[in-house]
Each structure stands twice: as C-alpha cells, then as structure tokens.
Amino acid sequence: MVVSSVASPLCTWLVAACMSVPCEKDSSMRISGFAPSKRLSKWVRRQRVVLKGGREDFPKGLISAFCGASIQGLMSSCLAFEPCEEYYSSKGLSLSPSSLSSFFGESGFSLFGWKEGTTRRQRRLVNRATSGKTMNVAVEPSKEVVKKEKPVTKQRRVVVTGMGVVTPLGHDPDVFYNNLLEGVSGISEIEAFDCSHFPTRIAGEIKNFSSDGWVAPKLSKRMDKFMLYLLTAGKKALADGGITNDVMNMLDKSKCGVLIGSAMGGMKVFNDAIEALRVSYKKMNPFCVPFATTNMGSAILAMDLKWMGPNYSISTACATSNFCILNAANHIKRNEADMMLCGGSDAAIIPIGLGGFVACRALSQRNEDPTKASRPWDVHRDGFVMGEGAGVLLLEELEHAKRRGANIYAEFLGGSFTCDAYHMTEPHPDGTGISLCIEKALSQSGVSREDVNYVNAHATSTQSGDLKEYSALIRCFGQNPKLRVNSTKSMIGHLIGAAGAVEAVATIQAIRTGWVHPNINLETPEETVDPTLLVGPKKERLDIKVALSNSFGFGGHNSSIIFVPYT
C-alpha cells in the first residue's frame, strides 16, 4: 500500500513525459533501474517500434524521456514538460498496480526493479515480449489528440477620416488643394521681421493666421507658433472627421492618441527666453522650457481632448511627419488605439531659423521673383524655400469608423523607414537608402511596384536631393509608363517637420478628387530627368490605384508611406 501511494504520482509524471518529449538519439544514454545498457542501445538502433494493432511507424530519432542517469535525472527532465492531453482525459492512463500488470504482465517487473526470485532467462523473455508494448505506451501519442492551432487574427485596417491643415495656401484642406490644382504659389517676401540684411528674404510664410475658437487666448499669448498651428490643425482634423461633442463623449479615450511631431520645436519661445535672460532670469517666460520642446504640442492637445492613448512626438528633421503617421497607424494595427491624430508642425521662419539655413547654403536667393524660387528638377534651381505650417490626419480603425458612420477619405496601407548612414545633410550618392525605403514600404504594404501610379515626391529644389530621389524612383518604378510624379513644395516651399503631413493631405486629396496638381516652375528639366514622368504645368486627371509619399530629412532619415482609395 505504501509503495503504491508513493509510486503513483511519480509514475504519472514519468509516463506523461515519455509520451510528449522528443530527444535526439544518443548512444551514451542509460536507463538506470529500468533495463541494462545493452538493452537500451539495442532499442535505440531499432528503426521501427512494434505497435499494438499494427499501427504506423514511430518517427525515427525520437526517444522517451527515460534518458536520465538516475531517478533525480528522470525527475528533473520530467518536471520540465507538461503531460499530453490524453493524460488529462477521462480515458487517460491509470497507473494503478493492476494497470501496470496489464502493461508489463505478471512478469515480476515493477517500476522499482525486478522482484526477487526472477531468473535471468525470465528477464530476457519478458524484455523481448514486452519492450514493444511498453514503448507503445511510453512514446506513442494517441491519434485522437488534436493539436490546437491559434486562431487567425484578422489584420486591423487603418483609414483616414479627417484632415486639418495650416499652410501658406490656406487653412482648409479643400481651399489648400484647390490652390495647388490652380498652380498658385504661396512663396512671398518675409514680413514677420526685418530680413533685409539676409541673402534670402523669401519664404512660404503664413500671413494672416488666427487661432481664435481653437486655442484658449491665455495659452495662445505664450505659445510658440508651431504649437498654435498644431492645435488648430489637430482640432480642424477632428471637426472634419465628424467628431462632435456627442461623438467625443462616446469614444473610449484610453484608445485615442496623439502623435504630432516637430523638427525644430519652439524656436521663437526659446530665442525670446535667451533675449530675456540678457536682462534677468526674472524676465523669462516661465513656460519657455516646456513650450520649446517638440512633444508639448501633442501633450497639450491630448490634455484638451482628454485622450489617454499613445501620446508622444517624433523628431526626424524633414521626415518627421511621415514617421509620426506610420507609427500612429501601427498603434491602431496593434490594437493599442482605435483613433490617432498624427502629423507634424513647424514655424521656423524667424531670424535664427532663416540665418541657420542660410549658413548651410541651402536656401534659394531668388528674392526678386519669389513665386519662381522653388523649382524642383529644374536646371536653374538654386536651393529650397523655407515654409511653415502644420498638417494633421485623423487615422481610425476601419470597423470603428464604420460603426460611427464616418466619411472615409482613403486607406493607409503602410510604409517604411531607412537611414542613409552617410552624411548629415547630403543624401547617399547612389540613392540606395531611398530605394531601400521605397522597396520596404511596398513589401510591408503588400503592394506591387506596377500598381503605384502616383508619387508625391520629397523634391525640395536642391541640386543633389532632387536627382538622387528621381534616380531612386526610376530604379523602383522606371518600367511603369503610367507613373506620375509631382512636388507640392514647388508652390508652398519646404515646411520642414510639417512637410510630410501637408503632402499626405495633398496625396489624399488627389485620391479623392481624381486630379493631381502641377509642378510649377519646371521650365527646363534636368537632362537626366524624363519629363514624361513628371506632371506638367497644369493639373492632370489620374485614376490613382496606389499613391506613395516620400519624405527625407537631415541625418539621412528616409520615409515612405502609402495610401490607396478605400474600397
């Protein structure tokens, strides 16, 4: 009775382990206390296990968990494994003394050795007669055990349900895009400060902007303009997406997030603080530090909306917006959010910002004719034109959008990032980082290159950047005669960290309207550029199948995002 009570739990685990553990063949293994080493080696060499009832062969190379050198070894190996399902079933093995007899016969064998009085001849006969039967019990899993497979998780789709912009060509997505279609330039002389002593005196400056009705007056007096643009564009995107007060009250705010970045941050707030410090620290804006940081715009917008989901800011220079959009979409795909406001904002047209880019020798100096200054791919381009503003998309999980009856503008498929790892401001000479980024974006989105027929290019109107991107586009899509390429920067300049988001709005508007805007100022294309791929001086009709939007930034940051019509 004592032996039975001790043996039963131990035997249960040993047999369970035997039934579930594959081990590699090892001629040095021994089964201490169960059979002599000669018997074990003979068994290992067997190619087939004799199964009860003539069942199929046992897989070669599998051996039971009875491979320790002692009871302690057996226990340590067994405890690491879970018994198979048959063990737990009502028809599972019962290791009572009577059932052991049915396995091993009345042979005098027990789990703790041979009974006294058993001769060597009897042991040999028992080994021959019962070894196959024993292994059938020890290692043959039941055919009735069905392997449970993980349920297939349906991919969460991401759609665009709202857009908001603050740009040199208007602060409404429709007004903004209509001006683009008409080829209107937003480049003009800078009026915010005296720049007569600078070699560059033009920019895509926002002349008349008011945050009334969007930002509390007390905050607007102290905030940097990049934050005012961000908050205004973000709330306009919500209004455009039909997020009324009633809808807002019904949202699960723990699954609503904000991811709007900035390349330059609160430059004016920080510059003003330095000037005040020259007098006394007591003259400094007490909010100068938080209002200068790039994350605070997203944070304050979330505070205003009471949105408690993912909230942070990404800063990757001129690629900032695309990084934010793609990461926001990934939060939705991973079920970490149902709704995300995302994009970018910058307001660097101040003396220190203008002076910094002049020092880089990156800006156009076509001051006499501002509207002609930004001219991507043109032989006579002489640098980019600074711009300012913000662009915000409201991304939403498809089923969530459908339940609330949202107007869906387009579907976001995906995108990718790479790094040139080459130079602070210059792209890689071969454009390899850009090509890799585009190819990865296509792969990640499940899109073939033949389906891409519209590219909103990063093309900033710089000597090297335009051609490197063009070469990468030809490398990826050169065999597609239906491809059309344009640059929004030809009309609004380069909005730095906001560029990608504002251009994403232009891309979505092209999908919605079926019209792509022109490339203005492309009077003499570079010899290496095929003008038939570039949109001409007038808007063009295009039934967009897949649209790609590129953004690249100082530091070698490359980003590509993909939109398609929602179907």
Q: Report in angstroms the alpha-carbon separations of 79 from 4, 63, 83, 93.
A: 21, 17, 9, 18
Cα 353 to Cα 374: distance, rounded to the nearest angstrom: 18
Which residue among 195, 256, 288, 318 is the active-site one?
A: 318
Q: How far apart are CA 387 and CA 502, in angstroms?
A: 11
- Active-site residue (options: 171, 331, 400, 458): 458
Please give the Cα distance from 509 to 499 (Å, whole number). 15
d(CA 441, CA 393): 19
Contact 222, 285 (CB under 8 A): yes
Which residue type, as a one-letter code, is found at position 231?
L
Say which residues have a Cβ less than 8 Å from residue 17's Cβ, sequence separation at least 6: 64, 65, 77, 78, 81, 83
The strand pair at 557-564 and 410-419 is best described as antiparallel
What's the CA gap between 59 and 63, in Å, rounded? 9
Pairwise CA distance, residues 222 & 319, whole Å:
27
Residue 318 a catalytic site member = yes
18, 192, 166, 191: which is closest to 501 by C-alpha? 166
Rounded distance between C-alpha atoms, residue 407 and residue 366, angstroms: 42
Which residues make Cβ contacts (< 8 Å) with residue 331, sequence separation at least 6? 257, 259, 309, 310, 337, 340
Catalytic residue among 171, 331, 400, 494: 494
Task: Give dist(CA 209, CA 16) in Å, integer.
Answer: 75
State the Cα–Cα distance between residues 123 and 11, nearest whole angstrom: 21
327, 333, 334, 337 alpha-carbon torsion, rounded to 10°: 80
Known catalytic membership, residue 494: yes
Contact in structure between 166 and 389 (CB atoms under 8 Å): yes
H/E/C letters for each residue in 503-543?
Answer: HHHHHHHHHHHCEECCCCCCCCECCCCCCCCECCCCCEECC
Phi-psi label, residue 114: left if phi above 0, alpha if psi -120 to 50, beta otherwise: beta
Residues with catalytic roles? 318, 458, 494
